[in-house]
């Protein structure tokens, strides 16, 4: 078992000396056993069920995503171990969103048509296309979620409308449109696109499939959030020892966004590990700090900045209230990073070094590592988070080069070139460095 740090330090206070600190502690985070044992059992079984539903979708790879070990970078950071769960390998869609959107679409269809007795796995196989042609789904997106929903809708046979705000690149728009989605453009930022998607749905009788919850809209965001528990389930399987005993890493650094990913991942880890769950740090762009502000105000809150970041998937102005309910009691710390920190992390992952395999990570995908690197280079943060030479840290690379031209500009090398170097070095890694487990179990 990884050794937990014994360092105890006072939490950084919000607004000390008139400045916003780079991180704050969540005094409401709980270390008690998961509060509802029956819900815990039901949700773990539900996650396994959903893995089976997705096991035959042609746009999803049918093995667990790699869990890379980066020993050289870990040594540089002064920690015992660093592992990267690489969601860029999840699907040709190149992001973790390939889990949430299709699961939410399946569950929405099952709720809308209970009398049809649809077989869940057969929905994404296109078996019910004639029945679903009249169904229209819509969402707002910064890119990855919309692309995943468009792909799932195309596979299922329903119509899909995607609302994009002004800052979404043409490259991301084209990637979504390639799956047959109809594109609507709006002025403003992500929050403006969320409002427009809700308006269009109400006007036309369409159905919103969004990971952002709001008053009266929680079922679908809840489905998406819980779907991300598949990532946690895979991680636990991949780090168990041969006797089946789970290894507990000490820390996990997770991207923020509206909160759906960290809420889904942390909720599952809490269900599984109980009070022994790892210390969690939520990482956001400084100018899109809605979860940081939520921790400060103890309610789902708005970001304090301009919500414009190269970490496009994290450029969210308002926290999801549903996700915040989970994070309020399961996330230990909230921190912000600069765009330059994300770029540095992207380049670090792409370079590889010695034993460390090169990894393709977009700006949002590299945010967790960016937070870890900032913390390890800042002694007060390092002490605050309890990071030391005994720490076993996990980060999740949530996306690959989903905008290839932007990736090449920021990294100075194409994603394809990095993957070629990854392939050439991969044979030198131990099998445990990139476990591949079936998506579904009998």
Domain edge (last residue) among 167, 198, 223:
223
Mean pLDDT of 333-354: 96
Q: Looking at the structure, tell me whether residues 327 and 193 fall in a common domain.
A: no
Mean pLDDT value across residues 315-339? 96
Same domain, 311 and 414: yes
Flag whether pLDDT at 6 surpasses 90: no
d(CA 320, CA 316): 10
pLDDT in tens, 238-267: 997 766 666 779 999 999 999 999 999 999
Same domain flag for 24 and 70 = yes
pLDDT digits (tens, 9 = 90+) for 91-133: 999 999 999 999 999 999 999 999 999 999 999 999 999 999 9
64: burial class by Cβ within 10 Å (0-12, 13-18, 19+)?
A: buried
- For the chain, what is the domain count? 2
- Mind telling me the catalytic residues? 97, 142
Average pLDDT over residues 152-160: 98
pLDDT at 301 over 60: yes
Specify which residues 102 forms β-bridges with: none
Give 284's strand partners.
336
How far is residue 358 CA from its own chain's centroid?
20
Contacts of 111 (CB under 8 A, 6+ apart): 219
Residue 200 above 70 pLDDT?
Answer: yes
CA atoms within 13 A on the CB side of 272: 25
Contact 307, 315 (CB under 8 A): yes
Report if residue 179 sits inside a domain. yes
Residue 395, strand partner residues: 84, 253
- 80 plus 149 within the same structural domain: no
Is 195 in the same domain as 266?
Answer: no
336: Cβ contacts below 8 Å, ≥ 6 apart? 22, 23, 283, 284, 285, 286, 289, 292
Asked if residues 70 and 85 have their Cβ atoms less than 8 Å apart, the reply is no
Name the residue range of residue 216's domain. 97-223
Q: In whole angstroms, what separates CA 117 from the centre of its chain?
A: 31
pLDDT band, residue 163 (cuts 50/70/90) = very high
Least confident of 37-51, 75-89, 142-156: 37-51
Q: Which tens digit of pLDDT belongs to each residue from 39-73?
A: 888 889 999 999 999 998 999 998 999 999 999 99
């Amino acid at each position: 078992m990884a050794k937990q740090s014994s360092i105890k330090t006072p939490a950084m206070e919000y607004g000390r000396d008139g400045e916003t600190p780079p991180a704050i502690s969540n005094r409401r985070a709980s270390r008690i056993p998961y509060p509802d044992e029956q819900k815990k059992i039901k949700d773990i079984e539900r996650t396994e069920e959903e893995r089976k539903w997705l096991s035959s979708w042609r746009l999803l790879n049918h093995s667990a995503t790699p869990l890379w070990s980066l020993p050289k970078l870990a040594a540089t950071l002064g920690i015992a171990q660093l592992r990267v769960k690489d969601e860029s390998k999840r699907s040709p869609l190149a992001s973790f969103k390939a889990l949430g959107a299709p699961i939410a679409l399946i569950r929405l269809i099952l709720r809308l048509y209970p009398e049809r007795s649809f077989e869940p796995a057969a929905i994404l196989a296109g078996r019910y296309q004639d029945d679903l042609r009249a169904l229209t789904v819509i969402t707002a997106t910064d890119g990855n979620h919309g692309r995943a929903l468009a792909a799932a809708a195309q596979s299922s046979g329903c119509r899909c409308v995607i609302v994009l705000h002004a800052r979404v690149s043409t490259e991301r728009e084209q990637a979504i449109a390639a799956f047959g989605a109809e594109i609507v453009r709006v002025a403003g930022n992500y929050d403006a696109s969320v409002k427009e998607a809700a308006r269009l749905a109400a006007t036309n009788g369409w159905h919103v499939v969004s990971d952002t919850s709001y008053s009266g809209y929680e079922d679908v965001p809840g489905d998406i959030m819980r779907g991300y528990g598949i990532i946690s389930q895979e991680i636990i399987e991949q780090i168990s020892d041969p006797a089946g005993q789970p290894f507990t890493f000490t820390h996990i650094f997770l991207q923020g966004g509206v909160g759906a990913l960290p809420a889904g991942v942390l909720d599952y880890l809490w269900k599984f590990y109980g009070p022994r769950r790892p210390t969690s740090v939520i990482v956001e762009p400084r100018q899109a700090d809605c979860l940081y502000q939520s921790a400060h105000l103890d309610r789902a809150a708005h970001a304090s900045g301009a919500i414009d970041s190269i970490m496009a998937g994290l450029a969210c102005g308002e926290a999801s209230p549903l996700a915040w309910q989970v994070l309020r009691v399961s996330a230990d710390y909230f921190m912000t990073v600069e765009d330059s920190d994300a770029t540095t992390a992207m380049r670090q992952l792409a370079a590889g070094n010695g034993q460390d395999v090169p990894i393709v990570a977009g700006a949002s995908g590299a945010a967790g590592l960016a937070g870890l690197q900032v913390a390890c280079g800042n002694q007060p943060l390092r002490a605050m988070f309890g990071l030391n030479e005994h720490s076993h840290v996990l980060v999740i690379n949530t996306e690959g080069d989903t905008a290839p031209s932007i990736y090449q500009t920021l990294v100075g090398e194409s994603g394809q070139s990095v993957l070629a170097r990854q392939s050439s070095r991969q044979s030198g890694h131990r099998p445990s460095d990139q476990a591949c487990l079936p998506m579904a179990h009998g």
